[in-house]
Structure 1
Amino acid sequence: MSIGYVIKEGFAGLGRARLAALTSMFSLFIAVLLIGVLFRLGYNAYEVTQLLQQQVEVEVFLDDLNSTEVQLMEGRLTENPGVTGLSYISKDSAAQVFQQEFGTGGEAIAELDFLPASFRLVITEDYTVAQVDSLVQEINTYEGVDEVRFNMALLQMIESRTDTLFMFGGAIGIFILLVAMILVFNTIRLTIYAKRDLIKAMKLVGATNAFIRRPFLVEGILQGLIAGGLAAVVVYSLFYWGIPYFMPQIGVLSWPFGKWYYLVGGIILLAIFLGWWGSRWAAHKFIKDMGVSS
């Protein structure tokens, strides 16, 4: 009986303050929609930065080593936890690459046999610039290594831009979430105020504080469910049909974790959580202010 009352009152609460409820749901809809778009774009930006970092090569130039020494060097480099892969470029291969890059004019220079053998390293994706620099310094100390080169300036730029992007995006996301929670809070506050006499009467006949709060929590959850569902439909349609139609290149970008339903499910759950938390916040505060003991 109490469960039916709680659900019924939760739905009824949406109709008691319709304008406030619609405002709250619209704000929740906009909030989780923007969060979903930001997360999708942020995830794709993260993938792009990871791809750029992988394209920054660390090249280890070797002294004149025999085949056994080259194998030993390869094993030593492979054992390093920061190295996930490598490729060996012999002196002959280096000369061929030089000729391909500089054309016929480079053949005479390549024949001078001045190009050293080298290893091109693939570095662990989550390594920072400082860690890559430390790795380079360590490899420089290896016997048989003539020089180690990598584009530190490019790595620093990628890391700096990525950090700025995520900090800025995170700040916007937190602001949007706070605004949405405050609007839900105000909506539930108006509903509680409209029922203040009924709440006091219920306490007089023995209704518990938890029982009084439940309909307001249901109302907040319903607001979040409706807003989140609408936002999920818009985000899915926007990225699955809308944007790829006008900008086909966007269609090749992957969904977070490879599937669309992770983002869509996350949007709905986030909206429900915001609705629940905002209503819980308001119910605890204003029922207590009315003199209802907790």
Structure 2
Amino acid sequence: MNLKYVVKEGFTGLKRAKIAATTSVFSLFIAILLLGILGRVSYNLYTQAMEIRNMVEVEVFLFDIDDGTRRQIETNLKNQELVESVTYISKDSASSVMKKEFGEGVDDLVELNFLPASYRVRVNLEAGSESISDLVSRIKNFRGVDEVQYNAALLRVMESNLSMLALVGGGLGLLILLTAVVLVYNTIRLTIYAKRDLIRAMKLVGATNKFIRSPFIVEGILQGLVAGTLAVVCVFLVFELLVPVYLPDLGVVSWPFGRWYFQVGIMFLLAIIMGWWGSRWAARRFIQETYISS
């Protein structure tokens, strides 16, 4: 196969059906741009939700017990499957924390030293709220434990919101992808129809379907490259220039994983795949023996 011919014909296809190609590139551009914005915003919402979620701790308040019983409780806590870390807060430490958080106005209360000793338990939140509730129920039965507190409602809300975010974001992204692919498909189909006489002649002289399809696939990939480039430029403009100036209250909308090239690479890859998929789908369907000979 002559690679130079295939690439040249791919560029020629873009010039031949300018209106259809422009429509396809614009649709791909909008799709990749929307996916880029959706991905970046969703990533930031997810990271903020995870930060709030990770603040959920199990607090185990103790009766006035001897050191032996306290150490046994600590050992039992560390042996629990979901427990990641255990921090002991003595009565004196609890009073110091209260004074730090509420200021000098609570000095009289601090002197009473009425706050109980406790353990702050970090748990594996990936286990889910039901598993953590079971853990809390077990801890309540430990000898020497007065009360166990954790924000079960917050954890359930976060789980629900994260699931909804994944469902809505994934569904919207899939819809955008399919719409763009269909538009590329229609563009390539129109190009094939415009070249039907040439394709018929090529078939008569022995050209294979693969050889005939290749320029159309290259055309679809080129459409993806152009659309991806425009989308990446617009994402930079939106988040680096427009958002800081016109929506300063949003703060910094960080790049996924803290690096710009992760998202840029994914956007380019998606654009190329969508262009390739749509063009390959059209070419395989319409460059067939029955179609050419009709």
| Distance (whole Å) between structure 2 residues aligned to residue 287 and residue 28 of structure 1 | 24
Q: Which amino acid aligns with 1:50?
A: M
Task: Please list, as runs of the form range in 1=range in 2, the aligned pairs for 1:178-217 lying within 5 A after superposition.
Answer: 178-217=178-217
1:82 and 1:244, CA in 2 relative to 1: closer, same or farther beyond 3 A? farther
1:52 aligns to what?
A: 52
- What CA distance in whole angstroms lies between the structure 2 residues aligned with 1:12 and 1:161? 49
| Identity fraction in percent | 51
Instruction: Describe the superposition over 1:265-287 as per-residue Cα deviations: whole angstroms up to 9, x where unpaired.
Output: 11011000000000011011111
For 1:66 and 1:235, how far apart are their aligned partners in 2? 61
Shifted more, 152-161 versus 277-286: the winner is: 152-161
Kindly indicate whether the alpha-carbon contact (under 8 Å) linking 1:98 and 1:106 is maintained by their aligned counterparts in 2.
no
Whole-angstrom CA distance in 2 between matches of 1:250 and 1:109: 39
- Asked if 1:169 is matched to 2:169, the reply is yes
**Deviation for aligned residue 1:143:** 3.3
Q: Distance in 2 between matches of 1:236 and 1:108?
A: 54
TM-aligned CA distance change 1:126 to 1:253, over 3 Å: farther
Q: Deviations over 1:137-165 (max 9, x none)?
A: 23223333222111111111122122222
How far off its partner does 1:109 sit? 8.5
Give the CA RMSD over aligned residues. 2.4
Query: 2 CA distance for matches of 1:83 and 1:248?
Result: 40
- Distance (whole Å) between structure 1 residues aligned to residue 40 and residue 15 of structure 2: 34
1:265 aligns with 2:265: yes
> Contact 1:10 / 1:216 at 8 angstroms: preserved in 2?
yes
The one-character-per-residue Cα deviations of 1:107-160 (angstroms, maximum 9, x if unpaired) are 35962x553211112233434222322222232233332221111111111221
The answer to whether the aligner puts 1:78 opposite 2:83 as a matched pair is: no
Go from structure 1 to structure 2 and tell me whether the alpha carbon gap of 1:125 and 1:235 turns closer, same or farther (over 3 Å shift). farther
* Deviating more after overlay: 63-72 vs 212-221: 63-72
Amino acid at match of 2:222: L
* Consecutive aligned runs of 4 or more in structure 1 exceeding 6 Å deviation: none
Q: Give 2:252's aligned residue.
A: 252
Read off the aligned partner of 1:169 and give its amino acid letter.
G
Q: Deviations over 1:29-57 (max 9, x none)?
A: 00010001000000000111111112223
In the TM superposition, what whole-angstrom CA distance separates every residue of 1:182-226 from its partner, at most 9, and x where no partner exists? 000000000011111111221111111111111111000000001
CA distance in 1, matches of 2:143, 2:74: 12
Return the offset for 1:88. 1.6
Moved more, 258-267 or 77-86: 77-86
Q: Which runs of 5+ in 2 are unaligned?
A: none
Summarize the Cα distance change of 1:117–1:289 in structure 2 as closer, same or farther, 3 Å threshold: farther
Gaps of 5+ in 1: none
Which range moved further: 157-166 or 167-176?
157-166
| Structure 2 contact 33–232 (Cα < 8 Å) conserved | yes
Tell me which amino acid in the other structure corresponds to 1:258.
G
TM-score normalized by structure 1? 0.90
How many residues were matched structurally? 292
